[in-house]
Amino acid sequence: MRQYAGFWALLRLALRRDRVKLPVWLLSIAVMASYFANALQVAYPEKEDLKAIADFMDSPAGTVMSGPGFGWDDPNHATAFAGAYALYLYLGAAFLTVLLVGRHTRVEEEAGRLEMVRAAAVGRHAPLAVTAVLTVGASLLLGVLSAIFILPADYGVGGSWLFGASMTMVALVFGAIALVTAQLSGHSRTATGMASLAIGSAVAIRGAGDVLADQGSWLSWFSPFAWAQQTRVFYDGRWWPLLLGVAAAGALFAVASRLQARRDLGAGLLATRPGNAAAMPALRGPLALALRLERTSLVVWAAVLLVLGALYGGLTDSVQSSLADLDNQMVIDAMGGDPTRMVDGYLATCALFNAYVVLCYAIVALHRLSVEERDGRAGSSLAAAVSRPRWLLAGLGAALVGTVVALLAAGVGMGATAALVTGEGGHFWDVVLGTLFYLPAIAVLLGIGVVGFGIAPGWLNGVWLVAGYAMVVGYLGFALDLPDPLVDVSPLSHVAQVPLETQSALPLVVLTLVAAALVAAGTARFRTRDLTAG
C-alpha cells in the first residue's frame, strides 16, 4: 500500500482546487439537459409538431447529426429528446472528464507541482489513483444530476435514470481514454488533443455506422456514443449496452496504471523528437514560433475536419432523394425555408456545424497564450526584444491561421464529395466559400478570448461560455423557437447560409471591425497587467 501513500490528502487537495470549476461544469450540463427536455414541450406542444421533427431526424442527415433515434415512427417528447439532443449532452460529458483528467495529470507534471508533491511522503501511484477516483466520482455525480434535473419533464423515472446512467458511462470511458493519453505524451496539449481526437473519431464512427443500417450497424458499436444511444432510453430502455462502457473504462484505467509505472515523471512513453540546435532564420520570431508550436495540433484537427466534411458531403445524394418530395413545412423551415433547394439547405447546415467544430479548435489554439504564461515561457520570450503586443498578436495570429486552414479542410472535404456524388461541380466552390465566410465570426469569439486573457489568463476560459451559447443558438435555436434578439447575439448568426443564401459584404466587414476592436482592447489591457506563472 506504500504505492498509494498520501491518497486521501491528495484527494482532499484535488477536491479543494476544483471546488468551483467542477460544480459549474456539472451543473451546466445538467441544467442544459433540463432546459432541452422542458423547452421541447414548449416549442412542440402537439404530436403533429413532433412528427415534423421526426421526418427530418429520421433522414440520413438527421441520423448523422444526432443518432439513429428510436421511436421516430410514433414520436413523443421523451423519444424526441433522446433522439435529437442526447448526443450533444454526451459530448459535454466526454469533454468534462477529458479536461478534468488533463488538469490533474499532465498540467501538474508540466508545471512541476507534481514533482514537489512526490518529494513528500506520497506513493508513486497515489496521484493517478486520485485522478481516477475523481473522474469516477464526477461521472457518477453528473449522471445523478442529469437524471434528477430531467425528472420534472415527466418523461418517466426509469428512463430518466437510464439516461443519467448513460451520461455516466460516456464520461467514464472518455475520462479513462484521457488517462491513457496522459501517459503517452509528455505535453498536456498533446495528451488532451489525443483524447479530443478520440471523441471526434467516436462521433464520426457513430455517424457512419448509423447511416449504414436502420438504428445502427455493426460499425456503430465501435463508438462509446453508440453504446449510450443503444440503451434506447425512453423507448424500450435496456441497460446492458452500458456494461460495454463499464468494461472498457475498467480496462483503460488498468492500462493507464501499467503505463504510468513504466515511464519517468514528466516524460511520456512516446519519445519527443529533439529539434535542431539552432533555428532557421524564418523561425526567429514570435509568430513563426507560435505557428511551429501549433503545427502538430493543426494537422490533426485539419485531418479530422477533412474526414468529417467528406462524410457529410458524401450523404448529399441520399439527402436529395429522401427530401425530394417532402411537404412538411416545419422541416423545410429548418433546412432554410426553400422546398426547391433542400440540398443547398443541407449543405449550409453542415457548413455551420463544421464552423462550430473549427470554433472549438480556434479557442483551444488561443489557449496556448495562457499555457505559455502559466509555464513561464512567456516571461522568457518577453525578456528578449519582443514587446507584449507583438507576443500576444503572434499567438492570436497562429490561431487565426489555423482557423483558416481548418475551415478550408472542412470545406474542401465536404465540397469535393458533394460535387462527386451529385455530379454538380458548383457545389465545391459554394461549400468552400460558404465555410470560409465564418472566419470573421470566429475572429469575434477569439477577440472576446483576447479581452479575457488581457484581464487574467484564467479569464480566457470565459469565451467557452459565449461559444457554447452560439452553438446552442445556431443549432437548436430553430427547434427551441428562440426570439430574434437572442439569436442575433451570436456572431455566427450574422453569416449567410451559403449556398442557400447570398453572403453580403457588410456583415463580414462589421464582424471584422468588432473583432479588431476587441483585440485592441484586450491588447491594451494585457500591456498594463502583471504576468503570472505557476
pLDDT at 479: 57
pLDDT at 171: 95
pLDDT band at 106 (very low <50, low <70, confident <90, very high): confident
The pLDDT tens digits for 476-507 are 666 556 677 777 788 888 888 888 778 888 98
pLDDT at 43 over 80: no
CA–CA distance, 390 with 158 (Å, rounded to integer): 57
pLDDT at 9 over 90: no
The pLDDT tens digits for 151-207 are 988 888 999 999 999 999 999 999 999 999 989 887 777 888 888 888 888 888 888
Inter-axis angle of helices 188-212 and 157-184, nearest 10:
130
The pLDDT tens digits for 256-298 are 989 888 887 777 777 666 667 666 766 777 888 888 888 878 8
Place of cell 485531418: 303
pLDDT at 206: 86
> Residue 214 contacts by C-beta under 8 Å, 6 or more apart in sequence?
68
Average pLDDT score, the chain: 83
pLDDT at 1: 65
pLDDT band at 470 (very low <50, low <70, confident <90, very high): confident
136 or 84: which leads in pLDDT: 136
The answer to whether the Cα torsion of 90, 233, 26, 168 is positive or negative is: negative
Residue 180 is given by DSSP the state: H
pLDDT at 128 over 90: no
pLDDT at 262: 84
- Highest average pLDDT, of 66-80, 311-325, 473-487, comes from 66-80
pLDDT at 508: 92
pLDDT at 437: 92
| Percent with pLDDT over 90 in the chain | 26
pLDDT at 153: 87
CA 442 to the chain's CA centroid = 15
pLDDT at 446 over 90: yes
pLDDT at 389: 87
CA–CA distance, 343 with 347 (Å, rounded to integer): 6
> Residue 439 contacts by C-beta under 8 Å, 6 or more apart in sequence?
400, 403, 404, 407
Query: Position 254: which residue type?
Result: A
Mean pLDDT of 80-108: 88
Q: Which of 132-141, 271-280, 333-342 has the lowest mean pLDDT?
A: 333-342
Mean pLDDT of 108-126: 78
| Percent with pLDDT over 70 in the chain | 89
Contact 474, 493 (CB under 8 A): yes
- Highest average pLDDT, of 11-20, 173-182, 354-363, 451-460, comes from 173-182
Instruction: Kindly tell me the burial class for residue 482, based on how many C-beta atoms sit within 10 Å of its own C-beta (0-12, 13-18, 19 or more).
Output: middle
CA 437 to the chain's CA centroid = 21
pTM score, two decimals? 0.78
